[in-house]
Amino acid sequence: MAKKVIVTIGRQFGSGGHEIGEKLAKTLGIKFYDKELIKLIAKQSGLCEKVLESYDEKPTNSLLYSIVMDIYPSVMYTGPTIDQQIYQANYDTIRGLAEHSCVIVGRCADYILRDCPELVSVFVHANNDFRAERIAEEYQLPDAKVRDMLVKTDKKRASYYNFQSEKKWGAASSYNLCVESSSIGIEGSVELIMNYIKHRGLL
């Protein structure tokens, strides 16, 4: 790619945001980051990978956060809290990745990179039946548990995003482009985002 483009993808659980991001990155010939970010942040910051996994896209007032603080009590008194350290490490890593073209899923990347002129921020959403079918197939769970997962995971992601940014998770005004994957499919979503990038003159 001659030009630089940074695509960030926020997503409802089960909407296919990860798959769309992965296919988009492959189409563009650029790096893709989702769960891979955790290993990268751990390597660059020296923070424990298990703690990073536990904190990943969860609000700081969660029970898990309290448990982590009990495990690392000295952090509370000698410097930044563990959530502040993790957010800073997340921020530094994402800012570093943005030096080159890439696709990043979640982790408030759109807010962290909001001043980048090459940024294309996308939110992927879908109807509940589409999402439930995808999650049931992936995790082999009954419908009742799947529906519960959809609600709880979205709530965690929204709480994290709303806490860390000045925007509202899932609101159209928070993103450049909102895509309904249940109406146009995964491939159609990738094509739509590609067309948007082209219209922005980033290709």
pLDDT in tens, the chain (203 residues): 568 999 999 999 999 999 999 999 999 999 999 999 999 999 999 998 988 888 888 765 443 444 444 444 444 445 678 888 888 999 999 999 999 999 999 999 999 999 999 999 999 999 999 999 999 999 999 999 999 999 999 999 999 999 999 999 999 999 999 999 999 999 999 999 999 999 999 99
pLDDT for residue 55: 82
Flag whether 1 is in a domain. Answer: no
Flag whether 11 is in a domain. Answer: yes
Flag whether 134 is in a domain. Answer: yes
For residue 114, count CB atoms less than 10 angstroms from its CB and return exposed for 0-12, middle for 13-18, buried for 19 or more.
middle
Dist CA 38 CA 55 (whole Å): 10
pLDDT for residue 73: 45
Flag whether 145 is in a domain. Answer: yes
Closest of 94, 95, 55 to residue 75, by C-alpha: 55
Number of domains observed in the structure of the chain = 1
CATH of the domain at 165: 3.40.50.300
For residue 183, count CB atoms less than 10 angstroms from its CB and return exposed for 0-12, middle for 13-18, buried for 19 or more.
exposed
pLDDT for residue 67: 42
Q: Write out the residue range of the structural domain in which residue 184 sits.
A: 6-199
Flag whether 21 is in a domain. Answer: yes
Flag whether 167 is in a domain. Answer: yes
- The pTM (predicted TM-score) of the whole model is 0.88
Flag whether 55 is in a domain. Answer: yes
3-state secondary structure of 152: helix
Flag whether 165 is in a domain. Answer: yes
